[in-house]
Chains A and B, each alone.
Chain A
Amino acid sequence: MNSIILLSVLGLGNLFLGFRRSNRLLLPVMMLILGVVLTVNFIDWNQGAQSFFNGMLTIDNFSVAFTGIVLLTALVLVPFSQKYVLDGEANLAEYYSLLLFSLVGAIMLVSYNHLLMLFLGIEILSVAMYVLAGSDKRNLRSNEAALKYFLMGAFFTGILLFGMALLYGATGTFELSQISAAVQNPVNASLTPMLYIGMLLMLIGIGFKVSAAPFHFWTPDVYEGTPTFFAAFMSTVVKTAGFAAFLKLLVQAFPAASAQGIWLPTLTAMCVLTLLIGNVGAVAQTSIKRMLAYSSISHAGYLLIALVAYNGQLEGASANGILFYSLAYSVATVAAFGVVKLVADARMREDYNGLNGLAKTNPLLAFSLTVSMLSLAGIPLTGGFFGKFFIFSAAVENGYIGLVVFAVVMSMVSIYYYLRPIIAMYMRDAEDETTATPVPVTTFQSGALLLLAALTVLLGVLPGLVAGVL
């Protein structure tokens, strides 16, 4: 709760900094805010469940852990916005404030206990994202991205709301635990069609937000057009919060066997489709940003496995799997988008060949992107390996062997496209003047990249630090 209040207040305060002519204060202040909120967030660790607003929000270890991930992700992402500071971007204070507000939405998503809060969280998160997607106002692609994201997002928000309304009609409540009780109550048997349609519509609504197939069509276009800095935010924070919310919904509102009979096959189908489309789609891409967009779809697929395989309680193997996976995924994705942004800013191109010879001109960038690609591919020594390992073993334990086999085959496919940037950087030579000149990187960004690589390796060597904390 402290983090929500702090973020809102400091976010507002941050806006006033924009009145100053100079941008130089903004970045350090932003990092300070995030650092403070991150620290404050962990005050609530192991304090038991605390309810707020008549039980609409619950802060427990689950929400603290996921809040920690989204805040940490934002904190390590912010250094890559330094170009805005250097270029004297006029609206930087607004951008930062929007990010802070969207984090409030993300925190609501991981701690909601009431569908109203779920809806508010999604909207707070999304509206900020709609604006930020179009923040590169003179770029047509950015405009396209914002419009696409907004139109599609608004449409799916409608579906989500419709689902909630039907659920309310069937159960008479928005409270998760009461929904769960109503679903199991045989008195409501006649209302089940309405209930299940409501539930399915909600799955579709959230499925859109985490870009699960077949509701993923917006992802590549939006990621490509959105300024890279904000695309990184979308593919990490939004996804992490979305999956935490997804898990809460399934575990706390629909644990009943009868409800599971409906959502389990639906999610399994979505999962298989997401893995297939994400991985096969990524193979065909020539732009790294689009590849990363498809890769983020495929990772939604791996995370869906954890949802399918959850074993009854909120803080169990699945939640731990999602927690570890989102952390490893976020850290690696931030580094990947960070490097792609730095290279794209300097070389004005986002295809694989733009990376040629990067190992010679910028060894640090090449190393950092390599670590993050290996992590996303799930190669040992990186956090991504243990993320997949925990999720897959939770699924095997609950008997989803076929699904895991399919996911393993898909991750073999993924090795192909994750190795392509590595091959370009290390095994090909620069093709022209622009690719032969080093990409400018500030010390600040180098530090952030080193930190991200170190975190990825740390998660890959000592997974016990995070595994099983819930």
Chain B
Amino acid sequence: MLTVLLLLWPVAAALLLHFFKGRAARVPALGAALVEFALAAYAAFTFNANNTGQFSYNLNWIPSAGIQFAVGMDGLSLLLVLLTALLVPIILLSAFRRNFENESVFYALVLFMQTGLIGVFTAQDAFLFYFMWEVALIPIYFLAGVWGGVNRARITFKFFLYTIIGSLFMLAGFVYLYFQTGPSADGLSAHNSALTSFYSLNLPVDTQLWVFWLIFAAFAVKMPIFPFHTWQPDTYTEAPAPATMLLSGIMLKMGIYGCMRWLIPVVPLGTDAWQNLVLILAIIGIIYGAIIAIRQQDVKRLIAYSSLSHVGLMIAGVFSLTQMGMQGASIQMLAHGVNVVGMFFIADAIERRTGTRNIADLGGLTRKAPVLTVCFLVLLLGTVALPLTNGFVGEFLLLAGVYQFNAWMGAVAGVTIILGAVYLLRMFQRVMLGPDSSFTETFTDLTGAELALLVPLIVLLFWIGLFPNTFLHLSEGSVLNILNEVVKR
């Protein structure tokens, strides 16, 4: 029931937000997001890590087709629900820094998207999962399309088309699997679409080989994995900062989570056959993203490519099919969410003050804004995976997992850390150090409100870095279950 509450509350709040106009919508929107966070935190405290599948709720959604509104959380879901519930208030707060037209609609869309995201992370029925997958897409399309930059119409159109075509393939895969299942529990339908029935399908290898690609198409576009990534840098750059944070902080985790929950255990033999190919693509993405990031002049674009590179490593970890790799991906999803949102916030703070994101136009911010410098550096070192920070735990486990699968791949993937240091420190050097430019002459430091927004992120950054077990503990059971499904066959 708690899960249902987590799902319904944001959408209810989004609808109620229409009674507030403009700036007046800020407080209620933030309040709603904080309530949601409190709910998620309550779920985390009452969660029993030794048990999987808690807070379940089942409703016969479409009885004649055996489709259930089935939601529930295991440790992995809970981690991502927590991440979502934590990041949304921060993203809303960051949006308050800017003046938007139709603010209340903007916040309503963010909250609406939260329902979709939490739905994706908690759905236990294939069609509900697909449904929520698209529910999360529609608001972000409008967020990026209406409030974005100059080229928004063209770029968000590309984004929408890419993702929806990917997810239609996934739907086709689900429909195929659906017709392989047995009758629903109540006997009203000849088939059902429950996650557990998908797990127990035992399809022949030949079938799994192509079903894998149908389902993977949606996740590949969303994460994105090379070569399905071409929508990503443009969309991240053109979207307004809060939408970029939603996309990079939470939405791309939908793809990784999807692989872990809806792909690998459902078609284990297919995964086994394509494992090497996916790993190679992921590693190409790691190197490719990093090399392009080195050449970027636009701060936002640079972070976008760095995100592509980091996601590549998470995909590689998941597809190494080792406990370490998967655990690494779980915790890195959390860490990456925290770091990338922080980085995009700093980029946005700089852009708001100077009116430019061009690295060449910036310089000398350290003297003007010491607090901003410290925050930026901490987040940056987290992204570079320095020990004691969250990035270290995640990337270490991920690399260990990939290394366990194949030492060479592990070695090549490890380059990500070096390259990451190169492009991030280069950016830091050009933006924060060096002489002032005409753009940065009147630069002011972070305000108290902005700092208040970054503090929770930085606390979490160190928390994950110093006590990773708080979170690893949560996802361990789920990861073992997933690997069990794979080993069984």
Task: List residues of A whose CB falls within 8 A of some B CB.
Answer: 320, 359-360, 363, 374, 379-381, 385-386, 389-390, 392-393, 396-397, 404-405, 408, 411-412, 415-416, 419, 423, 426-428, 462-464, 467-468
Contacts and interface: CB of A to CB of B under 8 A. Distances in A.
Contact of A428 (B64, B65, B130, B153): B153
B138 A426 contact: no
Contact of A467 (B65, B102, B156, B175): B65
Contact of B157 (A389, A393, A412, A419): A419
B160 interface: yes
A386 B175 CA distance: 13
Contact of A380 (B131, B145, B172): B131
B62 A463 contact: yes
B142 A426 contact: yes
* Most-contacted residue by chain B among A359, A381, A385, A405 (CB, 10 A): A381
A426 B109 CA distance: 14
Interface string B244-283: 0000000000000000000000000000000000000000
Contacts of B127: 389
Nearest to A401: B176
Contacts of A360: 101
B64 A468 contact: yes
Contacts of B134: 379-381, 385
Query: Which 6 A/B pairs are nearest by Cβ-Cβ distance?
Result: A468-B64, A380-B134, A427-B153, A464-B62, A426-B146, A380-B131
Given A379-B164, A426-B145, 15 more contacts: A380-B134, A381-B138, A386-B62, A392-B175, A393-B65, A393-B178, A396-B176, A396-B179, A397-B179, A412-B161, A416-B161, A428-B153, A464-B60, A464-B62, A464-B63
A423 B135 contact: no
A468 B157 contact: no
Contacts of A374: 138
A468 B146 contact: no
Contacts of B157: 419, 423
A467 B64 contact: yes
Contacts of A464: 60-64
* Most-contacted residue by chain B among A392, A404, A408, A462 (CB, 10 A): A408
Contacts of A415: 160-161, 164
A398 B178 CA distance: 14
Contacts of A467: 62, 64-65
A412 B169 CA distance: 11
A416 B135 CA distance: 19
B146 A423 contact: no
5 contacts: A380-B133, A381-B134, A393-B178, A427-B156, A463-B61
Interface in B118-153: 127, 130-131, 133-135, 138, 142, 145-146, 152-153
Nearest to B64: A468
B1 interface: no
Contact of B152 (A380, A411, A427, A463): A427
A53 to B, nearest CB: 33
B303 to A, nearest CB: 24
Interface of B: 60-65, 101-102, 127, 130-131, 133-135, 138, 142, 145-146, 152-153, 156-157, 160-161, 164-165, 168, 172, 175-176, 178-179
Contacts of A379: 134, 138, 164
Nearest to A427: B153
A396 B146 contact: no
A396 B174 CA distance: 12
Contact of A393 (B101, B102, B156, B175): B175
A374 B141 CA distance: 12
A415 B141 CA distance: 13
Contact of A408 (B60, B161, B168): B168
A53 B38 CA distance: 67
A468 B145 CA distance: 37
Nearest to B135: A381
Nearest to A465: B62
* Most-contacted residue by chain A among B60, B133, B135 (CB, 10 A): B135
Contacts of B133: 380
Contacts of B62: 386, 463-464, 467-468
Contacts of B102: 363
Contacts of B145: 423, 426-427
* Most-contacted residue by chain A among B63, B138, B152 (CB, 10 A): B138
A412 B162 CA distance: 10
A401 to B, nearest CB: 8
A405 B173 CA distance: 11
A467 B67 CA distance: 12
Contact of B64 (A320, A380, A392, A419): A320
Contacts of B64: 320, 464, 467-468
A408 B160 CA distance: 16
Contacts of A389: 127
A419 B176 contact: no
B138 A427 contact: no
A320 B65 CA distance: 11
Contact of A419 (B65, B130, B160, B165): B160
A463 B160 CA distance: 25
* Most-contacted residue by chain A among B61, B64, B127 (CB, 10 A): B64
* Most-contacted residue by chain B among A360, A428, A462, A464 (CB, 10 A): A464
A396 B179 CA distance: 8
A386 B102 CA distance: 31
Contacts of B164: 379, 412, 415
